[in-house]
Structure 1
Amino acid sequence: MAHQTRLHLDGELVARARRLAVRAGQPVVDLARSRTTVSVERATLRLAGLAGADPDGIPWVNRLVDAVRGDVGIGHGVSLPVFHALAADGHSDLLALAQKAASGAVRFEVPAGAAAVRARELASASVGAGIAAVDARRVERDGLVAEIGDPPQRPWIYLIVATGDIYEDIPQAQAAARAGADVIAVIRSTGQSLLDYVPEGATREGFAGTYATGENFRLMRAALDETSVELGRYIRLTNYASGLCMPEIAALAGLNRLDMMLNDSMYGILFRDINPIRTFVDQRFSRQIHSRAGIIINTGEDNYLTTADAVEAAHTVTVSQLLNEFFAHEAGLPDELLGLGHAFEINPEVPDSFRLELAHALLARELFPDAPLKWMPPTKHMTGDVFRGYLLDGFFNLVGAMTGQGILLVGMMTEAVVTPWLSDRDLALQNVRYVMNACGGLTEDFHPPADGFIATRARVVLGEAIELLERICDDGLLNAIGVGTFGIMKRPADGGRGLDGVEEHQDGYFNPATEILEGRA
């Protein structure tokens, strides 16, 4: 393993940790493979080209899936009933079918025999065209990166822009790129993860963020393409594929050439109280889309440390990273698309807090040497003292430089206190640039001694992670989540939002998107 000698980790212990993560995660994968959700089925119809919303703003994919579900359920998938109705009743396209279904003018059935074969062929061709469009956007990205060029250094500098108004976000995002940001994240409107539909069109009234919609994705990507040409480096765009519509947002991201998506396997469970089963089914499908689209996912382990103590719970971050790695690999994501998260969240009053941060960050770097790790700034212990906050962010940036992180989210001196001013952002970018210019190569020189504080602490955290994984293997991951193992949030498998949108596969379940994404078509 690259660079492993810096912490003197026991290779067999590392391999054991991964084997335990596979054992802990496999039952959840088996569960996800045997179920579907309303959002998985809606995402499939979006790939088939169904778009738009009714006069009340409810997307036609919701209307159509609800109509199918009312007649025959979704346990067979919606593709066979939908494309059977499309062929048998002579509807011009999916939109016309959805409109008639919403008015109650269509009844759905699961076809058999020759009718089923015909419906399967139509569905596969239609969804296949959507996935071909995702493929084309990936080729387009590769061509632009080759033509324009990547940022000259790592880590990539990641900065959040979100006013609620996409037309205000665009000039702010372009200004941020000109000031040095390599990745622009348009944070989602508060509460969107709890909506069981994706708003339609460009939006101008978000709350502490901007709604994730297909049109907002398209507008921002086009604007950042212009800025990429201007600056001579490809600017990446990030949004959030999480919540009750995770698969649909992943599909829209692939169709609109987003480059990164927040996509953690447990964030929605722990911090949005979304049902665990719904989340694991949805995240598997969404990650298959991300893999096909070449989208880097960002996981959310940093959030655990905003609720749990960052020293006592350090090993839960490592466990979650290992589980996220397994779930990602199983869904087809390679290491280079795996932006595992971690954070600089230790109380600065703790003795040796900086050395502890170094140990935790270097442990993540060495456990996942080929992953573009996402290093998150301090938030929990920001007090409103901007001088202290600026110093903390400087220490955070220094850890990122010393440990070779892949993606560095810009910390603001007013983080978690007020909405930062544009001047706060500019000062924060200056902080990053100074540290990276002054000591960005320190990762080559930083080799803590085997018997020193940093290496010893890293080995302790790895050992605690292995002990926790052993308990999870015995008790089950769903039970571990239920008793508050991660982020001290207790989320039982039968609780939370969205469980009513999950159905077990019936005999003959068919989803053309899954067939194509898993190479079975």
Structure 2
Amino acid sequence: MSKLGLDPEVVAKARRLAARAAEPVIELARTHTTVSVERAVLRLAGVSGADADGTPWVNRIVDAVRAQVGLEHGIALPVFHALRDHQDPRRLVSARFEVPEGAHAVQAGKRAREAVARGIARIDANRADRDWLLGKHGDPEPPWVYLIVATGDIYEDIPQARAAAREGADVIAVIRSTGQSLLDFVPEGATRQGYAGTYATQENFRLMRAALDEVSGELGRYVRLTNYASGLCMPEIATLAGLERLDMMLNDCMYGIIFRDINPKRTFIDQRFSRQIHARAGIVINTGEDNYLTTADAVDAAHTVIASQLLNERFGHEAGLTDSQLGLGHAFEINPDLPDSFRLELAHAQLVRELFPDAPLKYMPPTKHMTGNIFAGYLLDAFFNLAGVLTGQSIILIGMMTEGIHTPWLSDRDLALENVRYVRRAAGALAEDFHPAPGGFIVERARRVLSETVDLLGRVADDGLLTAIADGTFGVTRRPADRGKGLDGVIEQAPGYYNPATEILEERP
């Protein structure tokens, strides 16, 4: 039963408006492809590795096909037609391509589907392995404690991740190297020189997954692994995550647009394919609404967070994600000097919890108002942890008292883990006792935010989501649909376009 007394009709209206706003963008994604989607198809078909200069073979092949015959018909038919004469995919970069027709097209399509199906079968096997390991080791009770490691060196990340798990972290997030989202290729192999993070590569995924499997057995609880499926290579990184059994991926419908200036069309097309992969792999996505509150006021813009969550929900459902895979994001970012700031935070957090009762919500700690006062910061993080427990959040990304000063040390992480452990233990099932007064401050604030959300979604549905993004509706920043990085990688599908991956992923089990 709703603690906020939300009107079901108002909630239903908000979802209807979100669906109407999302539909033109979904249609865009259904009728277009991108260079990264086509590279992901090749990765599912088993193409891997890079040339002597470090350029992935999938990039070389896609570029060669595009230069000769275009990508309007997809990568699968030209490549698997050419593979009649070139059994080593790496030799394809010098092949002569054509789009086959008739019986040749049927044969190429069959070979392409068989190769891609083997990749999807590996993803299916990884999902079954995860389920088996959860049964063997046990699944920690929520809220799961989520902690970031980010040294830039995968071989330094591994011992930090193991230490964090032993101290109570349930989810290890390996933050990506700064700027990787703007690379239109996925680096190859293990990496040791990232910037404020570690490159997302298939080998780095494999190494960290093996390390966390080992510590899961030691601790008797399954430790989850998170990385980032965003940026110009979103479909490929999602594919590699499925192939290496990652458990969560940062995957937001608008983050790359607003905060990385990636073209909106490119982002939404890539996002749909990546979420189809995540749905099949059983991966929980994490969305990035918390970021809006770092550029916009957390009180004035609260309704934009809810609107984005409802849009993310619709996009996720259309791509096949279940509610249990929608780790919708929000954050504790109201200025602590504001009177009743904690009550406002509780209103927002409880509203999100009630709108998405079956979603594994990801709650982000205070960062915008952290300063050099580490004592105030530690107290603020404790309030955040308490809000998470009171409102039944599913995933709590722990805050660090030194975030306003420098990249936190291991000792800072240890203190942060101690903070959340104390709050969880002391509060226990306090959420059972948390019932805001009917008609009181928290209830009325939540209802007002929901009402503002409905109004906003109505405007977005009428004007178009791409127009709303161009106008700076989310996160203040303006991002027109005809600008931004990666637009030249967007291709409209021609009649006869064939993608064996989407064909398999969209089939009913």
TM tier, smaller: over 0.9
Structure 2 distance, partners of 1:218, 1:147, is: 21
Structure 1 distance, partners of 2:350, 2:288, is: 18
Counterpart of 2:367 in structure 1 is 379
Alignment of 1:2-21 (within 5 A): 3-4=1-2, 6-21=3-18
Structure 1 distance, partners of 2:135, 2:150, is: 29
Counterpart of 2:201 in structure 1 is 213
Counterpart of 1:421 in structure 2 is 409
Q: Where does the alignment leave 5 or more consecutive residues of structure 1 unmatched?
A: none
Q: Can you list the C-alpha shifts for 1:410-448, whole angstroms capped at 9, x where unaligned?
A: 100011431101111000000000000000311111111
Aligned-CA RMSD value: 0.8
Alignment of 1:428-447 (within 5 A): 428-447=416-435
Counterpart of 2:170 in structure 1 is 182
Structure 1 distance, partners of 2:46, 2:323, is: 31
Structure 2 distance, partners of 1:92, 1:314, is: 55
Q: Can you list the C-alpha shifts for 1:364-416, whole angstroms capped at 9, x where unaligned?
A: 00000000000000000001100000000000000000000000001000114
Q: Can you list the C-alpha shifts for 1:215-271, whole angstroms capped at 9, x where unaligned?
A: 000000000000000000000000000000000000000000000000000000000
Counterpart of 1:133 in structure 2 is 122
Tell me if 1:367 matches 2:355: yes
Letter aligned with residue 54 of structure 2: G
Letter aligned with residue 516 of structure 1: I
Alignment of 1:28-427 (within 5 A): 28-87=25-84, 89=85, 91-97=86-92, 101=93, 105-151=94-140, 153-427=141-415
Deviation at 1:150, TM superposition (A): 0.7
Deviation at 1:520, TM superposition (A): 7.0
Structure 2 distance, partners of 1:132, 1:450, is: 52
- How many residues are matched? 509
Deviation at 1:34, TM superposition (A): 0.4
Tell me if 1:460 matches 2:460: no
Q: Where does the alignment leave 5 or more consecutive residues of structure 2 unmatched?
A: none
Structure 2 distance, partners of 1:382, 1:438, is: 25
Contact 1:298 1:340 in 2 (8 A): yes
**What's the secondary structure of 1:320's corresponding residue?**
helix
Q: Can you list the C-alpha shifts for 1:313-336, whole angstroms capped at 9, x where unaligned?
A: 000000000000000000000000
Deviation at 1:106, TM superposition (A): 1.2
Counterpart of 1:25 in structure 2 is 22
Correspondent of 2:457 among 469, 484, 494:
469
Contact 1:37 1:501 in 2 (8 A): yes
Structure 1 distance, partners of 2:508, 2:347, is: 43
Letter aligned with residue 131 of structure 1: I
Letter aligned with residue 28 of structure 1: V
Contact 1:44 1:513 in 2 (8 A): yes
Deviation at 1:465, TM superposition (A): 0.3
Structure 1 distance, partners of 2:227, 2:176, is: 7
Contact 1:241 1:263 in 2 (8 A): yes
Deviation at 1:49, TM superposition (A): 0.3
Letter aligned with residue 106 of structure 1: A
Structure 2 distance, partners of 1:450, 1:279, is: 42
Deviation at 1:94, TM superposition (A): 1.9
**What's the secondary structure of 1:70's corresponding residue?**
helix
**What's the secondary structure of 1:408's corresponding residue?**
strand
Deviation at 1:450, TM superposition (A): 1.6
- Percent identical: 73
Contact 1:402 1:440 in 2 (8 A): no
Structure 1 distance, partners of 2:439, 2:89, is: 65
Structure 2 distance, partners of 1:123, 1:39, is: 17
